[in-house]
Structure 1
Amino acid sequence: MAGNGIPGVPGFWLRVFRHSATLNDMMRPYDEPIIAYLEDIKIEYIANPMGFRLNFHFSNNHYFTNSVLVKEYHIKSVPTPFKHDSEIYKCIGCTIDWLPHQDVTVRLGKQRQRHRSNGNIRVVERLVKNESFFNFFNPPVVPEDPKIEVKDELHVRLATDYEVGQYFRTRIIPHAYLYYIGQAPEQDDNYQDCSSDSSEDTSDSDED
């Protein structure tokens, strides 16, 4: 087995990530050596609660001790006049067991502090959140208590996270080879095809 990637194809999934506009945008240069150890991504459907689980299998590496990183989505069916749509109501990540000094989701930052009595300023170093693909495994947490109102911002973050999960499920996993060779079309879901009439006059000039 190759040291990273999948057997016989080192760096397979890293190349898939690079050829996906969505995943490439989530990935940072310091993520790439870690993703190079990604061997496979498998989907597992669950019935109770309804949803699916994404399993990211990694070969042995010097970044973390996990062999599998898991992301789970719980959805509910929402009836509409024409069909049943799915709606995310919870997602569950996993704890990444980073080896010492290898956690790319945090960085050392500086913060100014003012002394309460004499007003003196000092600068201290502290760990702050860092941009990384691996933040994907630390999703927004929805309160378990139904009496607690979920803020709109949390709904938006949850929906955005679900879009990425669906992207893995419906595009990346079934079409990984096409992404690997750079032949998978990237579709913009914000636009839909509309009918057009080739004979339609789009000229701005007025008729006499």
Structure 2
Amino acid sequence: MTTPIKKGEIEQAPTPQNTPASVSGSYLNKAQPPSIPTTIKEDEELRQKLLTNPVLLSAIQGKLNTLIGQDSGYFDQLPMIVKNRVYGLKSLQEEQLKLDMDFQRELFELEKKYQKKLKPLYESRRELVKGLKEPSKQQIEDGRILVEGEDDDEPKEDKIEEVEETAEEDSEGIPSFWLTALENLNPVSDLISDRDADALKFLDNVRMEYLKTPGFKLIFEFKPNEFFKNEELTKTYYYQKELGYSGDFIYDHAEGCEIDWKDNEHNVTITVETRKQRNKHTMQVRTIKKLTPIDSFFNFFDPPKPPASDEDGEEEKEDKDASAQNAENEGDEEGDEGEGDTDLEQRLQMDYEVGELIKDKLIPRAVDWFTGEALQYEYDNGEEEEDDEFNEEDEEDEEDEEDEDESKEGDDADHTKKATKVQPQECKQQ
């Protein structure tokens, strides 16, 4: 029998306020423990610990990398009837990919068809650039209207006659036409050095031909010059026969041509350093020339080679392993090899992009790159204007805040009756 509560001991009665959490059936043992919120300071301390412990950070990153691209297992847990529907979708997608492949092949043939129709126009352009013929009166007038716009104040015939009178005073053809066009086309212009420009002045024409297999060839025609004996320099880009997952042709590799330089002094891809050496025994002096490769646009015709496959590159791999064993520091070589792979990928990507730019932009719009008109289509001026507008609004807000601060300081100065002078804020350069 429960002992009755005596008078004066009512505060000791078992209530929710004084009942311990260990009592069976109490609601307190079911409550969640209080959580301590994470503060910015704790996050910063954790970040500093990770930065000072690269081994732990590397282990975490390696674990996260293993989770990328992993299947969640959701499909395996679906009922069989749902899986069958997914299999049906996969079959439909395969039929779609086949149609995409047919579309890309027909599109490639269509491009080749219209390339043949463009050939006479490109041939006429080559003759005008080289000065083999002059444009007709109608071509002059149509081109003038495209450049300067329509002008009704002056008769068309007078302007045509004026052009014909001054044409005889001009030099043959259009000097440095292709050099100027290339120098206006980024990132091609970044590849052209001063020595390259001297050689590219002899560039007469740039044209493109499609291959029978997916791919294209770039052809650079030169007139006789003092640098090399080649009349044409070519660069061929090959695509894989099978289409990629996106339904487009995938770039495979490129092949250049050998440039027959007349001598090392005119080879713009190297520098020649001349040094003299004296024999210790015979005291005879001999001259040694050291050839050092340098960056040049003409390296474009010696493209980087993609990594060889396992079967094709076994001998190369053995040579690399032998050289690695003879090296002094294996760790440094492994780091250099990783950097070399990254550099190779970047050079392959840049080489392909330059070829595509010449094919898709330079050749079809050569005159616009020569005049510089094409440059206005390379940048989105609208976004820049919007940014300027936001900057102006921000400047106005800053000026308003400065005025308010100055007025407050002035009021405080009047209130305290002190002759204090408000210091101007620093000017912000835009």
- TM bucket, shorter chain: 0.7 to 0.9
Task: Give the number of the structure with larger relative contact order, counting CA–CA contacts within 8 Å between residues 6 or more apart.
Answer: 1
- Report the counterpart of residue 374 of structure 2 in structure 1: 184
- Report the counterpart of residue 59 of structure 1 in structure 2: 223
Q: Is the 8 A contact 1:17 1:23 kept in 2?
A: yes
Distance 1:144 1:46 in 2: 24
Q: Which amino acid aligns with 2:228?
A: F
Larger helix proportion of the pair: 2
Moved more, 84-93 or 160-169: 84-93
- Report the counterpart of residue 136 of structure 1 in structure 2: 300
Q: How far off its partner does 1:165 sit?
A: 0.2
- Report the counterpart of residue 33 of structure 2 in structure 1: none
- Report the counterpart of residue 16 of structure 1 in structure 2: 181
When residues 21 and 157 of structure 1 are mapped into structure 2, their CA distance, relative to the original with a 3 A threshold, is closer
- Report the counterpart of residue 91 of structure 1 in structure 2: 254
Distance 2:251 2:181 in 1: 26
Gaps of 5+ in 1: 112-123, 197-201
Distance 1:61 1:110 in 2: 25
Larger strand proportion of the pair: 1
Q: How far off its partner does 1:154 sit?
A: 2.7
Distance 1:177 1:184 in 2: 9
Q: How far off its partner does 1:19 sit?
A: 1.9
Distance 1:63 1:30 in 2: 10
Distance 2:201 2:249 in 1: 33
Q: Is the 8 A contact 1:57 1:69 kept in 2?
A: yes
Q: How far off its partner does 1:11 sit?
A: 1.3
Q: Does 1:104 align with 2:295?
A: no
Alignment match of 1:39 (pick from 204, 207, 210): 204
> What SS does the aligned partner of 2:250 have?
strand
When residues 143 and 23 of structure 1 are mapped into structure 2, their CA distance, relative to the original with a 3 A threshold, is closer
Q: Which amino acid aligns with 2:205?
A: D
TM-score of the aligned structures, taking structure 2 as reference length: 0.38
Alignment match of 1:162 (pick from 352, 355, 379): 352
Q: Which amino acid aligns with 1:28?
A: S
Distance 1:85 1:110 in 2: 51
Larger radius of gyration: 2
When residues 153 and 31 of structure 1 are mapped into structure 2, their CA distance, relative to the original with a 3 A threshold, is closer
Moved more, 19-28 or 137-146: 137-146
Q: Is the 8 A contact 1:6 1:12 kept in 2?
A: no
Runs of 4 or more consecutive aligned structure 1 residues displaced over 4 Å after TM superposition: 143-146, 149-152
- Percentage of matched positions with identical amino acids: 30
Distance 1:172 1:86 in 2: 21
Alignment map for 1:146-157 (pairs within 5 Å): 146-147=310-311, 148=313, 151-157=341-347
Distance 1:11 1:155 in 2: 33
> What SS does the aligned partner of 1:86 have?
coil
Q: Is the 8 A contact 1:16 1:176 kept in 2?
A: yes
Q: How far off its partner does 1:109 sit?
A: 4.5
Gaps of 5+ in 2: 1-128, 132-172, 276-287, 318-339, 387-392, 398-430
**CA deviation string 1:69-110 (max 9, x = no partner):** 000111123132xxx233322110110000022101010248
**CA deviation string 1:116-144 (max 9, x = no partner):** xxxxxxxx751111121111111112355
- Report the counterpart of residue 67 of structure 2 in structure 1: none
TM-score of the aligned structures, taking structure 1 as reference length: 0.74
Q: Is the 8 A contact 1:13 1:180 kept in 2?
A: yes
Q: Is the 8 A contact 1:88 1:158 kept in 2?
A: no
